[in-house]
Structure 1
Amino acid sequence: MSRIVVTGANGKTGRVVVADLLEHGHEVVATDAVGPAGHLSIPELGVPLLVADLTEYGQAFEVLQGAEAVVHLANIPAPGMYTPATTFNRNTAMNANVFLAAQAAGLGRVVWSSSETTLGLPFDTPPRYAPVDEEHFPLPTTTYALSKVVGETLAREISGWSGIPFVGLRLSNVHVPADYAAVPGYWADPHARKWNLWGYVDARDVAQACRLALTATVRGATSYVIAAADTVMDRPSADLIREVFPGVPLTRELGEFETLLAIDRARDVLGYAPAHSWRDHVAP
Protein backbone atom coordinates (compact mmCIF):
# COMPACT_ATOMS: atom_id res chain seq x y z
CA MET A 1 0.00 0.00 0.00
CA SER A 2 1.25 3.46 -0.94
CA ARG A 3 0.28 6.88 0.38
CA ILE A 4 -0.94 8.85 -2.64
CA VAL A 5 -2.06 12.49 -2.65
CA VAL A 6 -4.84 13.21 -5.15
CA THR A 7 -5.35 16.89 -5.93
CA GLY A 8 -8.62 18.03 -7.46
CA ALA A 9 -10.11 15.07 -5.58
CA ASN A 10 -13.60 16.57 -5.30
CA GLY A 11 -13.92 17.04 -9.08
CA LYS A 12 -15.64 14.92 -11.70
CA THR A 13 -12.50 12.93 -12.48
CA GLY A 14 -10.89 13.18 -9.05
CA ARG A 15 -13.69 11.33 -7.29
CA VAL A 16 -13.36 8.38 -9.64
CA VAL A 17 -9.57 8.35 -9.28
CA VAL A 18 -9.81 8.37 -5.49
CA ALA A 19 -12.28 5.48 -5.53
CA ASP A 20 -10.06 3.43 -7.85
CA LEU A 21 -6.93 3.94 -5.75
CA LEU A 22 -8.79 3.01 -2.56
CA GLU A 23 -10.17 -0.10 -4.27
CA HIS A 24 -6.64 -1.14 -5.17
CA GLY A 25 -5.37 -0.82 -1.62
CA HIS A 26 -3.69 2.58 -1.61
CA GLU A 27 -3.91 5.11 1.20
CA VAL A 28 -5.29 8.32 -0.30
CA VAL A 29 -4.92 11.91 0.87
CA ALA A 30 -7.66 13.78 -1.00
CA THR A 31 -7.31 17.51 -1.43
CA ASP A 32 -9.24 20.17 -3.30
CA ALA A 33 -9.90 23.90 -3.14
CA VAL A 34 -13.65 23.20 -3.18
CA GLY A 35 -15.36 21.39 -0.35
CA PRO A 36 -16.47 21.76 3.26
CA ALA A 37 -14.24 23.81 5.52
CA GLY A 38 -11.65 21.76 7.34
CA HIS A 39 -10.69 18.10 7.22
CA LEU A 40 -14.20 16.71 6.79
CA SER A 41 -15.66 13.66 5.10
CA ILE A 42 -17.66 13.80 1.89
CA PRO A 43 -19.64 10.52 1.90
CA GLU A 44 -19.27 9.75 -1.80
CA LEU A 45 -15.52 10.46 -1.69
CA GLY A 46 -14.76 7.74 0.85
CA VAL A 47 -11.97 9.65 2.62
CA PRO A 48 -11.68 13.00 4.38
CA LEU A 49 -11.16 16.02 2.14
CA LEU A 50 -8.30 18.36 2.96
CA VAL A 51 -9.14 21.82 1.62
CA ALA A 52 -6.05 23.55 0.21
CA ASP A 53 -5.27 26.33 -2.26
CA LEU A 54 -2.48 25.01 -4.45
CA THR A 55 -1.81 28.42 -5.96
CA GLU A 56 0.07 28.97 -2.67
CA TYR A 57 3.34 27.03 -2.53
CA GLY A 58 3.26 26.55 1.23
CA GLN A 59 -0.08 24.76 1.09
CA ALA A 60 1.09 22.58 -1.79
CA PHE A 61 4.18 21.61 0.20
CA GLU A 62 2.12 20.79 3.29
CA VAL A 63 -0.35 18.49 1.53
CA LEU A 64 2.48 16.44 0.00
CA GLN A 65 4.25 15.75 3.29
CA GLY A 66 4.62 12.04 4.00
CA ALA A 67 3.33 10.94 0.58
CA GLU A 68 5.08 8.63 -1.83
CA ALA A 69 3.47 10.06 -4.96
CA VAL A 70 0.92 12.58 -6.18
CA VAL A 71 -1.82 12.35 -8.78
CA HIS A 72 -2.24 16.01 -9.63
CA LEU A 73 -5.62 16.73 -11.22
CA ALA A 74 -6.31 20.17 -9.75
CA ASN A 75 -6.59 22.85 -12.43
CA ILE A 76 -9.21 24.99 -14.09
CA PRO A 77 -10.44 22.13 -16.31
CA ALA A 78 -11.27 23.84 -19.60
CA PRO A 79 -10.95 27.10 -21.54
CA GLY A 80 -13.76 29.63 -21.33
CA MET A 81 -14.60 29.12 -17.66
CA TYR A 82 -12.48 32.07 -16.48
CA THR A 83 -10.74 34.89 -18.27
CA PRO A 84 -7.80 33.73 -20.38
CA ALA A 85 -5.19 35.32 -18.11
CA THR A 86 -6.78 33.88 -14.97
CA THR A 87 -6.85 30.40 -16.49
CA PHE A 88 -3.19 30.57 -17.46
CA ASN A 89 -1.97 32.12 -14.23
CA ARG A 90 -3.86 29.82 -11.86
CA ASN A 91 -3.10 26.61 -13.73
CA THR A 92 0.55 27.46 -14.12
CA ALA A 93 0.86 28.41 -10.45
CA MET A 94 -0.80 25.18 -9.30
CA ASN A 95 1.36 23.02 -11.56
CA ALA A 96 4.59 24.78 -10.64
CA ASN A 97 3.84 24.65 -6.91
CA VAL A 98 2.91 20.97 -6.90
CA PHE A 99 5.91 20.00 -9.03
CA LEU A 100 8.38 22.01 -6.95
CA ALA A 101 6.82 20.78 -3.71
CA ALA A 102 7.11 17.20 -4.95
CA GLN A 103 10.83 17.77 -5.42
CA ALA A 104 11.22 19.38 -2.00
CA ALA A 105 9.21 16.65 -0.27
CA GLY A 106 11.15 13.87 -1.99
CA LEU A 107 8.22 12.16 -3.71
CA GLY A 108 8.92 9.14 -5.86
CA ARG A 109 6.49 9.87 -8.69
CA VAL A 110 4.32 12.68 -10.10
CA VAL A 111 1.33 11.78 -12.28
CA TRP A 112 -0.57 14.77 -13.57
CA SER A 113 -3.31 15.80 -15.97
CA SER A 114 -2.11 17.45 -19.11
CA SER A 115 -4.65 17.78 -21.95
CA GLU A 116 -5.58 16.80 -25.46
CA THR A 117 -5.75 20.56 -26.17
CA THR A 118 -1.94 20.66 -26.34
CA LEU A 119 -2.22 18.75 -29.64
CA GLY A 120 -3.94 21.60 -31.51
CA LEU A 121 -7.55 21.59 -30.33
CA PRO A 122 -10.00 22.83 -31.34
CA PHE A 123 -9.23 21.60 -34.84
CA ASP A 124 -10.52 24.64 -36.68
CA THR A 125 -7.18 24.26 -38.41
CA PRO A 126 -7.10 20.60 -39.49
CA PRO A 127 -4.54 18.30 -37.90
CA ARG A 128 -1.47 17.46 -39.96
CA TYR A 129 -2.38 13.75 -39.91
CA ALA A 130 -4.63 11.28 -38.14
CA PRO A 131 -4.76 9.52 -35.80
CA VAL A 132 -3.18 12.37 -33.84
CA ASP A 133 -0.46 11.12 -31.52
CA GLU A 134 1.98 12.53 -28.97
CA GLU A 135 4.22 14.02 -31.67
CA HIS A 136 1.43 16.39 -32.76
CA PHE A 137 2.67 18.74 -30.03
CA PRO A 138 2.90 21.52 -28.99
CA LEU A 139 0.09 23.40 -30.72
CA PRO A 140 -1.73 25.40 -28.02
CA THR A 141 -4.58 27.58 -29.28
CA THR A 142 -5.86 28.88 -25.89
CA THR A 143 -4.27 29.98 -22.65
CA TYR A 144 -5.68 26.81 -21.11
CA ALA A 145 -3.74 24.68 -23.60
CA LEU A 146 -0.71 26.93 -23.16
CA SER A 147 -0.81 26.35 -19.39
CA LYS A 148 -0.58 22.62 -20.07
CA VAL A 149 2.31 23.06 -22.51
CA VAL A 150 4.11 25.13 -19.88
CA GLY A 151 3.31 22.38 -17.36
CA GLU A 152 4.94 19.78 -19.58
CA THR A 153 8.04 21.98 -19.84
CA LEU A 154 8.10 22.42 -16.05
CA ALA A 155 7.76 18.67 -15.62
CA ARG A 156 10.68 18.00 -17.94
CA GLU A 157 12.99 20.45 -16.20
CA ILE A 158 12.07 19.54 -12.61
CA SER A 159 12.31 15.85 -13.40
CA GLY A 160 15.78 16.50 -14.76
CA TRP A 161 16.80 18.33 -11.60
CA SER A 162 15.27 15.86 -9.17
CA GLY A 163 15.31 12.48 -10.90
CA ILE A 164 11.59 12.08 -10.13
CA PRO A 165 9.61 10.48 -12.97
CA PHE A 166 6.80 12.76 -14.15
CA VAL A 167 3.97 11.20 -16.15
CA GLY A 168 1.71 13.61 -18.01
CA LEU A 169 -1.67 12.31 -19.13
CA ARG A 170 -3.08 14.21 -22.11
CA LEU A 171 -6.68 13.53 -21.22
CA SER A 172 -9.46 13.61 -23.77
CA ASN A 173 -12.95 14.96 -22.97
CA VAL A 174 -13.84 13.11 -19.76
CA HIS A 175 -17.24 11.41 -19.58
CA VAL A 176 -19.01 9.59 -16.75
CA PRO A 177 -21.91 7.19 -17.42
CA ALA A 178 -24.49 9.93 -16.86
CA ASP A 179 -23.00 11.85 -19.81
CA TYR A 180 -23.60 9.09 -22.33
CA ALA A 181 -27.30 9.83 -22.81
CA ALA A 182 -26.21 12.91 -24.80
CA VAL A 183 -24.07 10.93 -27.26
CA PRO A 184 -26.81 10.21 -29.86
CA GLY A 185 -27.27 13.96 -30.18
CA TYR A 186 -23.78 14.19 -31.69
CA TRP A 187 -24.49 11.92 -34.65
CA ALA A 188 -26.54 14.15 -36.97
CA ASP A 189 -23.77 16.70 -37.52
CA PRO A 190 -20.24 15.30 -37.76
CA HIS A 191 -18.86 18.86 -37.65
CA ALA A 192 -20.25 19.48 -34.17
CA ARG A 193 -17.49 17.55 -32.42
CA LYS A 194 -14.72 17.74 -34.96
CA TRP A 195 -12.97 20.02 -32.45
CA ASN A 196 -11.36 16.99 -30.79
CA LEU A 197 -11.72 14.42 -33.57
CA TRP A 198 -14.84 13.01 -31.89
CA GLY A 199 -12.78 11.87 -28.91
CA TYR A 200 -13.67 11.19 -25.30
CA VAL A 201 -12.53 9.10 -22.35
CA ASP A 202 -14.43 7.43 -19.54
CA ALA A 203 -13.43 8.68 -16.08
CA ARG A 204 -12.94 5.06 -14.99
CA ASP A 205 -10.32 4.65 -17.71
CA VAL A 206 -8.65 7.87 -16.58
CA ALA A 207 -8.45 6.32 -13.12
CA GLN A 208 -6.89 3.20 -14.62
CA ALA A 209 -4.31 5.35 -16.44
CA CYS A 210 -3.45 7.26 -13.27
CA ARG A 211 -2.98 4.05 -11.29
CA LEU A 212 -0.85 2.42 -13.98
CA ALA A 213 1.25 5.58 -14.34
CA LEU A 214 2.18 5.37 -10.65
CA THR A 215 4.14 2.16 -11.19
CA ALA A 216 5.03 2.10 -14.90
CA THR A 217 8.70 1.72 -15.75
CA VAL A 218 9.48 5.23 -16.97
CA ARG A 219 12.24 7.78 -16.55
CA GLY A 220 12.29 11.54 -16.93
CA ALA A 221 9.14 13.36 -17.99
CA THR A 222 6.88 11.53 -20.42
CA SER A 223 3.40 12.28 -21.76
CA TYR A 224 0.65 10.08 -23.16
CA VAL A 225 -2.66 10.57 -24.96
CA ILE A 226 -5.43 9.05 -22.83
CA ALA A 227 -8.66 8.49 -24.75
CA ALA A 228 -11.33 5.83 -25.22
CA ALA A 229 -10.68 3.11 -27.78
CA ASP A 230 -13.50 4.45 -29.98
CA THR A 231 -15.10 7.76 -30.97
CA VAL A 232 -18.47 9.18 -29.90
CA MET A 233 -19.85 8.66 -33.41
CA ASP A 234 -21.86 5.82 -34.94
CA ARG A 235 -20.01 6.13 -38.26
CA PRO A 236 -16.65 4.63 -39.27
CA SER A 237 -13.72 6.79 -38.25
CA ALA A 238 -12.14 6.76 -41.71
CA ASP A 239 -15.41 8.05 -43.21
CA LEU A 240 -15.50 10.91 -40.70
CA ILE A 241 -11.99 12.02 -41.64
CA ARG A 242 -12.72 11.83 -45.37
CA GLU A 243 -15.88 13.93 -45.01
CA VAL A 244 -14.83 16.54 -42.45
CA PHE A 245 -11.06 16.71 -43.02
CA PRO A 246 -10.66 15.54 -46.64
CA GLY A 247 -7.06 16.74 -46.97
CA VAL A 248 -5.79 15.06 -43.81
CA PRO A 249 -3.82 11.85 -44.45
CA LEU A 250 -4.36 8.73 -42.40
CA THR A 251 -1.11 7.23 -41.14
CA ARG A 252 -2.54 3.70 -40.94
CA GLU A 253 -5.62 1.64 -41.63
CA LEU A 254 -8.22 2.21 -38.94
CA GLY A 255 -10.57 -0.09 -37.10
CA GLU A 256 -14.24 0.65 -37.78
CA PHE A 257 -14.83 3.07 -34.92
CA GLU A 258 -11.22 3.43 -33.75
CA THR A 259 -10.21 6.52 -31.83
CA LEU A 260 -8.52 9.26 -33.84
CA LEU A 261 -6.57 10.29 -30.72
CA ALA A 262 -3.88 7.61 -30.79
CA ILE A 263 -3.43 5.69 -27.54
CA ASP A 264 -0.72 3.34 -28.79
CA ARG A 265 2.04 4.81 -26.65
CA ALA A 266 -0.06 4.62 -23.48
CA ARG A 267 -0.87 1.00 -24.28
CA ASP A 268 2.75 0.10 -24.93
CA VAL A 269 4.40 1.94 -22.02
CA LEU A 270 1.75 2.19 -19.30
CA GLY A 271 -0.25 -0.93 -20.13
CA TYR A 272 -3.33 1.26 -20.59
CA ALA A 273 -6.32 -0.67 -21.94
CA PRO A 274 -9.55 1.37 -22.00
CA ALA A 275 -12.39 -0.83 -20.82
CA HIS A 276 -15.37 1.52 -21.05
CA SER A 277 -17.38 2.91 -23.96
CA TRP A 278 -20.60 4.81 -24.46
CA ARG A 279 -21.63 1.75 -26.49
CA ASP A 280 -22.04 -0.12 -23.21
CA HIS A 281 -24.72 2.38 -22.17
CA VAL A 282 -26.45 3.57 -25.35
CA ALA A 283 -27.64 1.49 -28.27
CA PRO A 284 -26.06 2.85 -31.51
Structure 2
Amino acid sequence: MRIALTGASGKLGTVVARELRAQGHTVIGLDVVGTRAPDFVQVDLTDYGQVIDALTAVGDTHDGFDAVVHLGAIPAPGIRADVATFHNNITATFNVLWAAVRLGITRIVTASSETVLGLPFDVPPPYVPVDEEYPARPESTYSLSKHLEEQLAVQLTRWNPAVSISALRFSNVMVPEDYARFPSFDADPLLRKWNLWGYIDARDGAQAVERALEAAIPGLNAYIIAAADTVMTTPNSALLDAVFPDVPVHGEIGENTTLLSIDKARRMLGYEPLHSWRDEV
Protein backbone atom coordinates (compact mmCIF):
# COMPACT_ATOMS: atom_id res chain seq x y z
CA MET A 1 0.00 0.00 0.00
CA ARG A 2 0.94 3.65 -0.43
CA ILE A 3 0.47 5.01 3.08
CA ALA A 4 0.42 8.56 4.41
CA LEU A 5 1.72 8.54 8.00
CA THR A 6 1.11 11.63 10.10
CA GLY A 7 3.23 12.06 13.20
CA ALA A 8 6.02 10.22 11.40
CA SER A 9 8.72 11.93 13.48
CA GLY A 10 7.25 10.87 16.84
CA LYS A 11 8.22 8.02 19.14
CA LEU A 12 5.63 5.63 17.76
CA GLY A 13 5.61 7.13 14.26
CA THR A 14 9.28 6.48 13.58
CA VAL A 15 8.85 2.81 14.46
CA VAL A 16 5.61 2.46 12.49
CA ALA A 17 7.30 3.98 9.43
CA ARG A 18 10.24 1.61 9.72
CA GLU A 19 8.13 -1.49 10.24
CA LEU A 20 5.63 -0.74 7.47
CA ARG A 21 8.45 -0.11 5.02
CA ALA A 22 10.07 -3.37 6.06
CA GLN A 23 6.82 -5.10 5.10
CA GLY A 24 7.01 -3.64 1.60
CA HIS A 25 4.68 -0.66 1.93
CA THR A 26 5.49 2.79 0.56
CA VAL A 27 5.29 5.25 3.45
CA ILE A 28 5.37 9.02 3.17
CA GLY A 29 5.76 10.75 6.50
CA LEU A 30 3.79 13.92 7.24
CA ASP A 31 4.75 15.95 10.29
CA VAL A 32 5.30 19.52 11.42
CA VAL A 33 8.90 18.63 12.33
CA GLY A 34 11.35 16.27 10.69
CA THR A 35 14.43 15.91 8.55
CA ARG A 36 14.15 16.66 4.85
CA ALA A 37 13.97 13.40 2.91
CA PRO A 38 12.37 11.98 -0.26
CA ASP A 39 9.78 10.18 1.88
CA PHE A 40 8.91 13.08 4.19
CA VAL A 41 6.75 16.18 3.77
CA GLN A 42 6.56 18.94 6.37
CA VAL A 43 2.89 19.64 7.05
CA ASP A 44 1.00 21.60 9.69
CA LEU A 45 -1.95 19.30 10.34
CA THR A 46 -4.00 22.14 11.80
CA ASP A 47 -4.05 23.79 8.36
CA TYR A 48 -6.63 21.98 6.21
CA GLY A 49 -5.22 23.36 2.98
CA GLN A 50 -1.82 21.88 3.71
CA VAL A 51 -3.36 18.55 4.73
CA ILE A 52 -5.51 17.99 1.65
CA ASP A 53 -2.72 19.21 -0.61
CA ALA A 54 -0.21 16.84 0.99
CA LEU A 55 -2.62 13.90 0.72
CA THR A 56 -3.28 14.66 -2.94
CA ALA A 57 0.25 15.11 -4.29
CA VAL A 58 3.53 16.80 -3.43
CA GLY A 59 5.83 17.38 -6.40
CA ASP A 60 7.44 14.10 -7.37
CA THR A 61 7.15 12.66 -3.86
CA HIS A 62 3.82 10.90 -4.44
CA ASP A 63 0.59 11.10 -6.40
CA GLY A 64 -1.93 9.91 -3.85
CA PHE A 65 -2.44 7.25 -1.21
CA ASP A 66 -4.24 3.98 -0.59
CA ALA A 67 -4.38 4.50 3.17
CA VAL A 68 -3.84 7.05 5.92
CA VAL A 69 -2.36 6.38 9.35
CA HIS A 70 -2.95 9.35 11.63
CA LEU A 71 -0.61 9.43 14.62
CA GLY A 72 0.10 13.16 14.60
CA ALA A 73 -0.90 14.85 17.87
CA ILE A 74 0.29 16.37 21.08
CA PRO A 75 0.76 12.89 22.56
CA ALA A 76 -0.24 13.28 26.21
CA PRO A 77 -1.79 15.64 28.74
CA GLY A 78 0.47 18.08 30.54
CA ILE A 79 2.84 18.80 27.65
CA ARG A 80 1.11 21.99 26.57
CA ALA A 81 -1.76 24.02 27.99
CA ASP A 82 -5.02 22.07 28.11
CA VAL A 83 -6.78 24.27 25.58
CA ALA A 84 -3.80 24.14 23.20
CA THR A 85 -3.78 20.34 23.38
CA PHE A 86 -7.50 20.12 22.71
CA HIS A 87 -7.51 22.61 19.85
CA ASN A 88 -4.47 21.04 18.17
CA ASN A 89 -5.61 17.44 18.39
CA ILE A 90 -9.24 17.97 17.46
CA THR A 91 -8.40 20.22 14.54
CA ALA A 92 -5.65 17.99 13.22
CA THR A 93 -7.80 14.87 13.39
CA PHE A 94 -10.78 16.51 11.73
CA ASN A 95 -8.57 17.83 8.94
CA VAL A 96 -6.89 14.48 8.29
CA LEU A 97 -10.06 12.37 8.41
CA TRP A 98 -12.12 14.86 6.42
CA ALA A 99 -9.45 15.20 3.75
CA ALA A 100 -8.95 11.45 3.49
CA VAL A 101 -12.67 10.79 3.06
CA ARG A 102 -13.00 13.63 0.54
CA LEU A 103 -10.20 12.06 -1.50
CA GLY A 104 -11.83 8.62 -1.48
CA ILE A 105 -9.31 6.97 0.84
CA THR A 106 -11.22 4.21 2.60
CA ARG A 107 -8.48 2.64 4.77
CA ILE A 108 -7.78 4.86 7.78
CA VAL A 109 -6.10 4.10 11.08
CA THR A 110 -6.05 6.76 13.78
CA ALA A 111 -4.36 6.89 17.16
CA SER A 112 -6.85 6.96 19.98
CA SER A 113 -5.69 6.41 23.54
CA GLU A 114 -5.99 4.19 26.58
CA THR A 115 -6.88 7.37 28.48
CA VAL A 116 -10.49 7.14 27.27
CA LEU A 117 -10.85 4.12 29.56
CA GLY A 118 -10.74 6.37 32.64
CA LEU A 119 -7.05 6.98 33.25
CA PRO A 120 -5.52 7.74 35.71
CA PHE A 121 -8.17 5.60 37.43
CA ASP A 122 -8.58 7.89 40.43
CA VAL A 123 -12.13 6.61 40.01
CA PRO A 124 -11.65 2.83 39.84
CA PRO A 125 -12.53 1.05 36.60
CA PRO A 126 -15.90 -0.72 36.48
CA TYR A 127 -14.15 -4.09 36.16
CA VAL A 128 -10.87 -5.66 35.08
CA PRO A 129 -9.55 -6.42 32.63
CA VAL A 130 -10.93 -3.22 31.12
CA ASP A 131 -12.21 -3.46 27.55
CA GLU A 132 -13.99 -1.49 24.85
CA GLU A 133 -17.50 -2.34 26.07
CA TYR A 134 -18.13 0.33 28.69
CA PRO A 135 -18.69 4.03 27.81
CA ALA A 136 -15.68 6.31 27.55
CA ARG A 137 -14.54 8.03 30.74
CA PRO A 138 -12.26 10.92 29.69
CA GLU A 139 -10.60 12.58 32.69
CA SER A 140 -8.49 15.22 30.92
CA THR A 141 -8.86 17.53 27.95
CA TYR A 142 -6.39 15.31 26.09
CA SER A 143 -8.58 12.28 26.73
CA LEU A 144 -11.70 14.25 25.88
CA SER A 145 -10.21 15.13 22.50
CA LYS A 146 -9.49 11.46 21.84
CA HIS A 147 -13.04 10.47 22.78
CA LEU A 148 -14.49 13.14 20.52
CA GLU A 149 -12.20 12.05 17.69
CA GLU A 150 -13.71 8.58 17.95
CA GLN A 151 -17.20 10.10 17.85
CA LEU A 152 -16.21 12.12 14.78
CA ALA A 153 -15.16 8.88 13.11
CA VAL A 154 -18.50 7.27 13.99
CA GLN A 155 -20.36 9.92 12.04
CA LEU A 156 -17.94 10.06 9.11
CA THR A 157 -18.26 6.33 8.58
CA ARG A 158 -22.03 6.54 8.96
CA TRP A 159 -22.07 9.07 6.12
CA ASN A 160 -19.58 6.98 4.12
CA PRO A 161 -20.32 3.29 4.77
CA ALA A 162 -17.41 2.02 2.67
CA VAL A 163 -14.86 3.79 4.86
CA SER A 164 -12.94 1.88 7.53
CA ILE A 165 -11.58 3.85 10.48
CA SER A 166 -9.74 1.87 13.13
CA ALA A 167 -9.19 3.83 16.35
CA LEU A 168 -6.28 2.19 18.13
CA ARG A 169 -6.36 2.91 21.85
CA PHE A 170 -2.62 2.63 22.35
CA SER A 171 -1.23 2.01 25.80
CA ASN A 172 1.93 3.79 27.02
CA VAL A 173 4.37 3.42 24.11
CA MET A 174 7.77 1.94 24.90
CA VAL A 175 10.92 1.09 22.96
CA PRO A 176 13.63 -1.35 24.13
CA GLU A 177 15.72 1.47 25.58
CA ASP A 178 12.91 2.15 28.07
CA TYR A 179 12.89 -1.30 29.60
CA ALA A 180 15.91 -0.98 31.90
CA ARG A 181 13.79 0.96 34.40
CA PHE A 182 10.89 -1.49 34.47
CA PRO A 183 12.17 -3.61 37.40
CA SER A 184 12.05 -0.51 39.62
CA PHE A 185 8.26 -0.36 39.25
CA ASP A 186 7.83 -3.31 41.61
CA ALA A 187 8.86 -1.16 44.56
CA ASP A 188 5.49 0.60 44.63
CA PRO A 189 2.31 -0.70 42.94
CA LEU A 190 0.94 2.86 42.87
CA LEU A 191 3.67 4.07 40.51
CA ARG A 192 1.96 2.58 37.49
CA LYS A 193 -1.60 2.04 38.68
CA TRP A 194 -2.66 4.99 36.49
CA ASN A 195 -2.93 2.72 33.44
CA LEU A 196 -3.38 -0.64 35.17
CA TRP A 197 0.34 -1.35 34.79
CA GLY A 198 0.08 -1.48 31.01
CA TYR A 199 2.36 -0.62 28.09
CA ILE A 200 2.81 -1.31 24.38
CA ASP A 201 6.06 -2.05 22.58
CA ALA A 202 6.22 0.33 19.61
CA ARG A 203 6.98 -2.62 17.31
CA ASP A 204 3.72 -4.26 18.32
CA GLY A 205 2.00 -0.93 17.88
CA ALA A 206 3.22 -1.01 14.28
CA GLN A 207 1.92 -4.55 13.90
CA ALA A 208 -1.52 -3.41 15.06
CA VAL A 209 -1.49 -0.58 12.52
CA GLU A 210 -0.69 -2.95 9.66
CA ARG A 211 -3.29 -5.49 10.79
CA ALA A 212 -5.96 -2.79 10.95
CA LEU A 213 -5.05 -1.54 7.47
CA GLU A 214 -5.22 -5.06 6.09
CA ALA A 215 -8.55 -5.88 7.76
CA ALA A 216 -10.14 -2.54 6.78
CA ILE A 217 -13.40 -3.41 8.53
CA PRO A 218 -16.04 -0.84 7.47
CA GLY A 219 -17.21 1.64 10.08
CA LEU A 220 -15.52 2.88 13.21
CA ASN A 221 -13.94 0.15 15.30
CA ALA A 222 -12.01 0.95 18.48
CA TYR A 223 -9.38 -1.45 19.81
CA ILE A 224 -7.24 -1.45 22.93
CA ILE A 225 -3.64 -2.05 21.84
CA ALA A 226 -1.36 -3.18 24.64
CA ALA A 227 1.35 -5.71 25.35
CA ALA A 228 0.33 -9.17 26.48
CA ASP A 229 1.82 -8.58 29.94
CA THR A 230 2.05 -5.86 32.58
CA VAL A 231 5.10 -3.80 33.50
CA MET A 232 5.26 -5.65 36.84
CA THR A 233 6.63 -8.91 38.18
CA THR A 234 4.24 -8.57 41.14
CA PRO A 235 1.26 -10.85 40.41
CA ASN A 236 -1.97 -9.25 39.25
CA SER A 237 -3.85 -10.66 42.23
CA ALA A 238 -1.55 -8.84 44.64
CA LEU A 239 -1.73 -5.61 42.66
CA LEU A 240 -5.52 -5.64 42.58
CA ASP A 241 -5.80 -6.52 46.26
CA ALA A 242 -3.53 -3.60 47.15
CA VAL A 243 -4.89 -0.93 44.80
CA PHE A 244 -8.35 -1.92 43.54
CA PRO A 245 -9.70 -4.40 46.11
CA ASP A 246 -13.36 -3.74 45.31
CA VAL A 247 -13.16 -3.84 41.50
CA PRO A 248 -14.87 -6.92 40.01
CA VAL A 249 -12.74 -9.31 37.98
CA HIS A 250 -14.37 -10.52 34.78
CA GLY A 251 -13.11 -13.97 33.94
CA GLU A 252 -9.68 -15.30 34.78
CA ILE A 253 -6.54 -13.22 34.91
CA GLY A 254 -3.05 -14.62 34.65
CA GLU A 255 -0.17 -13.89 36.95
CA ASN A 256 1.16 -11.01 34.87
CA THR A 257 -1.19 -10.87 31.87
CA THR A 258 -2.39 -7.48 30.69
CA LEU A 259 -5.30 -5.87 32.52
CA LEU A 260 -5.99 -3.84 29.36
CA SER A 261 -7.92 -6.44 27.40
CA ILE A 262 -6.62 -7.01 23.88
CA ASP A 263 -9.15 -9.74 23.13
CA LYS A 264 -11.05 -7.64 20.59
CA ALA A 265 -7.90 -6.80 18.62
CA ARG A 266 -6.87 -10.44 18.71
CA ARG A 267 -10.27 -11.60 17.53
CA MET A 268 -11.00 -9.01 14.85
CA LEU A 269 -7.54 -8.06 13.61
CA GLY A 270 -5.43 -11.11 14.32
CA TYR A 271 -3.21 -8.92 16.50
CA GLU A 272 -0.80 -10.79 18.75
CA PRO A 273 1.99 -9.05 20.70
CA LEU A 274 5.44 -10.40 19.86
CA HIS A 275 7.53 -8.28 22.24
CA SER A 276 7.83 -8.11 26.02
CA TRP A 277 10.07 -6.10 28.30
CA ARG A 278 10.90 -9.39 30.02
CA ASP A 279 12.85 -10.44 26.93
CA GLU A 280 14.98 -7.29 27.06
CA VAL A 281 15.97 -6.98 30.74
Q: TM-score range by the shorter chain?
A: over 0.9
Mapping of 1:111-126 within 5 angstroms?
111-126=109-124
CA contact (8 A) 1:229 1:258 kept: yes
Give structure 1 regions of 4+ aligned residues with deviation exceeding 4 angstroms: none
Write the letter of the residue equivalent to 2:54: V
- Aligned partners of 1:84 and 1:143 also within 8 Å: yes
Instruction: Structure 2 unaligned segments of length 5 or more: list them.
Output: 57-63
Is 2:204 the partner of 1:213? no
Alignment of 1:1-284 (within 5 A): 2-36=1-35, 40-41=36-37, 48-65=39-56, 66-163=64-161, 164-282=163-281
Question: Aligned partners of 2:32, 2:126: CA distance in 1, in Å?
Answer: 38
AA matched with 2:176? P
Distance in 2 separating the partners of 1:148 and 1:9: 19
Aligned pair count?
273
Distance 1:146 1:131 in 2: 22
Measure the CA separation in 2 of the matches of 1:15 and 1:203.
9
Measured in 2, the distance between the counterparts of 1:156 and 1:64 equals 22
Partner Cα distance (1:88, 1:192) in 2: 26
Partners of 1:90 and 1:171 lie apart in 2 by 19
1:62 and 1:268 map into 2 onto residues whose CA distance is 37
1:115, distance to aligned residue in structure 2 (A):
0.1
Conserved? CA contact 2:211–2:269, under 8 Å: yes
Shift of 1:215: 1.2
Q: Is the 8 A contact 2:201 2:227 kept in 1?
A: yes
Matched residues, percent identical? 52
Contact 2:27-2:39 at 8 Å conserved across structures: no
One-letter amino acid of the structure 2 residue matched with residue 184 of structure 1: P
Q: Which amino acid aligns with 1:187?
A: D
1:64 is matched by which residue type in structure 2? Answer: L
Corresponding residue SS for 1:102: helix
- Determine helix, strand or coil for the equivalent of 2:187: coil
What is aligned with 1:44? none
2-structure distance, mates of 1:244, 1:87: 30
Q: Could you tell me how far 1:217 is from its partner in structure 2?
A: 5.0
CA shift at 1:238, angstroms?
A: 2.2
SS in 2 for 1:168: strand
